Structure 1
Amino acid sequence: MEIVDLSTLPDEDAQYDEFLKKVCEKYEMDHAAYAGINPAAGSIHGHVTYSDEWKVHYQEHGLHLIDPTLHRAQRSIAPVDWSRLERGKDFQRVFSDAHDFGIPDQGVTIPVRGPYGDIGLLSATRNCSPEEWKKLIGNVITDLQSLAVHIHDNVMSSDTVSRMLYQPSLSNRELEILQWSAAGKSQQDIGDILSISHRTVEVHLRSARRKLNALTTPQAVGRAIGIGLIYPG
């Protein structure tokens, strides 16, 4: 996976918008959106590729207060495919309006949880058949999880308070193994390269995931890239 390095993009707000556009282009999505809450800094962040008209409508009608794609994902640790959401009155209200703006009810929201109570939500949507969506999301969900961590950690570390807190201490071996993981190497590959057993590789990865507050290795890789500990593969 080639992660767009946010540090190479222009000013802060523009770089997140550009990042989301590149995610859409690379993974064949119509739209992408990121929302983040940072209680340590008392800040809320939002970046989307949706039209200005939809953004204004969404805010003016308070749809963020009832949007099930956000509220369900906030309570989840796993990606939330919108096809599995209950089609209740809140869902119908949000997406009957969304359809008027050309936004489909087919998408996914990926939650990211940080070490200081912060939470980020990366959503992506595409207007296609259920069969096409199932095939597409199956191929890209792992990359999207890493990208969710990448943008979340960049946004959170832009807050001064979080910048002071968001620097976990990883060993050189843990960083080395994460760097090889970012390059697409399997645990067996890494073991062969470093002349250690794949079980030892897993021990280091488990430690790195714990220190980075990541559920999976792709999330750990995305987080390490996002805070500048390793480089995109």
Structure 2
Amino acid sequence: MEVMEVMGPATANMTLVVGARRLRSALKDALRARCALLKTRAFPYIAHYPYTCGSGPLFVEHSEVKAEDINLTGCRVQEAVRRIASAYQVDFVTLHLFRSGEDAQNKPYVRTNYPDAWVSRYLLNDYVRIDPVLHMAEQIQGPFCWSKITPHEGQAEMMAQAVKHGLGQTGFSVRHVDAVGRRTVLSFNAHDARGETTWDAHLPAMRDDLIALAQAMHNVALAEIYVDGETFPQLTPREVECLRWTAEGKAHTDIAIILGLSGHTVRGYLKDARVKLDCVTLAQAVSKAISLGLI
């Protein structure tokens, strides 16, 4: 109204027309720039495989991150997740910690900064049973890029839903398995895959630091899961084996045959495990080991 009163209707209309043309021109320029950017990214595979692995300038710039440079002392797992995401300049970091034993196979301890809506969907649909990243982590000891994953139909649908819920299309993971079989899978996820090289080219040089970081996060998670200040029983692999077979109802003579050991040696392992678990009887030791996720 002010334009019309000061300049007159004709001049005001001319001003509006010129303004609209400039706006359209600006929008077209922005669209061209966006299309040019998309052409530099390898997106054809998204239709059948939404999680691919790539490397962008941010990752290359921060590829010298060292595990010891990330201070995890005294922090909770969720805070550690935030610090790692910041240090590596990725959007999301997730930790899965699985106790040993079949009963704990699909009941991991999880901490992530993924969107709440995706976390809810993941839990409600029990995606942990088909998660292709976790399945791949069972097969590869060192860090691996998600581009190595070939998902089956159910996994592909899960991954498509992940993208719809705001997850990125690039990622890599690393696992740690301790002496008693508890394992942690630490995963990194980002939206952008700028550049022509993939993270595969960088992972070998980062291998040792990523493995050390997974172990550090494993220990941070264990400290949070179990009673603060309590010394967690450190059982040897043989002690765990003997307890596990005892839980299956095997006598020490049977366990000796199964493991190729003498009966005396098996009894020694079971006694040491019972003492470490601070139990009077072997049955109590087995029960406590199960409750702690050791077997």
Say whether the fold is shared (TM-score over 0.5): yes
Moved more, 36-45 or 71-80: 36-45
Secondary structure at 1:78 match in 2: coil
How many residues end up aligned between the 2 structures?
A: 162
Q: Which amino acid aligns with 2:196?
A: E
1:186-226 deviation digits (Å, cap 9, x = unpaired): xxxxxxxxxxxxxxxxxxxxxxxxxxxxxxxxxxxxxxxxx
Secondary structure at 1:107 match in 2: strand
CA distance in 1, matches of 2:156, 2:231: 37
> Structure 1 residue 79 and structure 2 residue 79: aligned?
no
Give the superposition deviation at 1:72.
1.6
Give the superposition deviation at 1:145.
2.1
> Structure 1 residue 52 and structure 2 residue 52: aligned?
no
Partner of residue 191, structure 1: none
- Structure 1's 138 and 28: CA in aligned 2 closer, same or farther, altered over 3 A? farther
Partner of residue 184, structure 1: none
Q: Is the 8 A contact 2:132 2:151 kept in 1?
A: no
Partner of residue 155, structure 1: 221
Partner of residue 28, structure 1: 89
Provide the alpha-carbon RMSD of the alignment. Answer: 2.8
CA distance in 1, matches of 2:197, 2:132: 23
CA distance in 2, matches of 1:66, 1:137: 25
Give the superposition deviation at 1:58.
0.8
- Structure 1's 153 and 166: CA in aligned 2 closer, same or farther, altered over 3 A? farther
CA distance in 1, matches of 2:161, 2:207: 27
Partner of residue 70, structure 2: 4
Partner of residue 178, structure 1: none
TM-score in terms of structure 2 length: 0.49
- Structure 1's 131 and 22: CA in aligned 2 closer, same or farther, altered over 3 A? farther
- Structure 1's 36 and 146: CA in aligned 2 closer, same or farther, altered over 3 A? same
CA distance in 2, matches of 1:153, 1:166: 15
CA distance in 1, matches of 2:197, 2:77: 28
Q: Which amino acid aligns with 2:89?
A: E
- Structure 1's 139 and 126: CA in aligned 2 closer, same or farther, altered over 3 A? farther
Please, which runs of 5 or more residues in structure 2 have no aligned partner?
Answer: 1-65, 237-295
Moved more, 34-43 or 140-149: 34-43
Q: Is the 8 A contact 2:168 2:190 kept in 1?
A: yes
**Following TM superposition, where does structure 1 have runs of at least 4 consecutive aligned residues deviating by more than 6 angstroms?**
40-43
Larger Rg: 2
1:25-77 deviation digits (Å, cap 9, x = unpaired): 11111100001112389684110011111100111122111111011202331
What percentage of residue pairs aligned between the two structures are identical?
Answer: 19
Give the superposition deviation at 1:106.
1.7
> Structure 1 residue 164 and structure 2 residue 228: aligned?
no
CA distance in 1, matches of 2:85, 2:206: 11
Q: Which amino acid aligns with 1:27?
A: Y
CA distance in 1, matches of 2:187, 2:214: 9
> Structure 1 residue 97 and structure 2 residue 161: aligned?
yes
CA distance in 2, matches of 1:75, 1:136: 20
- Structure 1's 5 and 23: CA in aligned 2 closer, same or farther, altered over 3 A? same
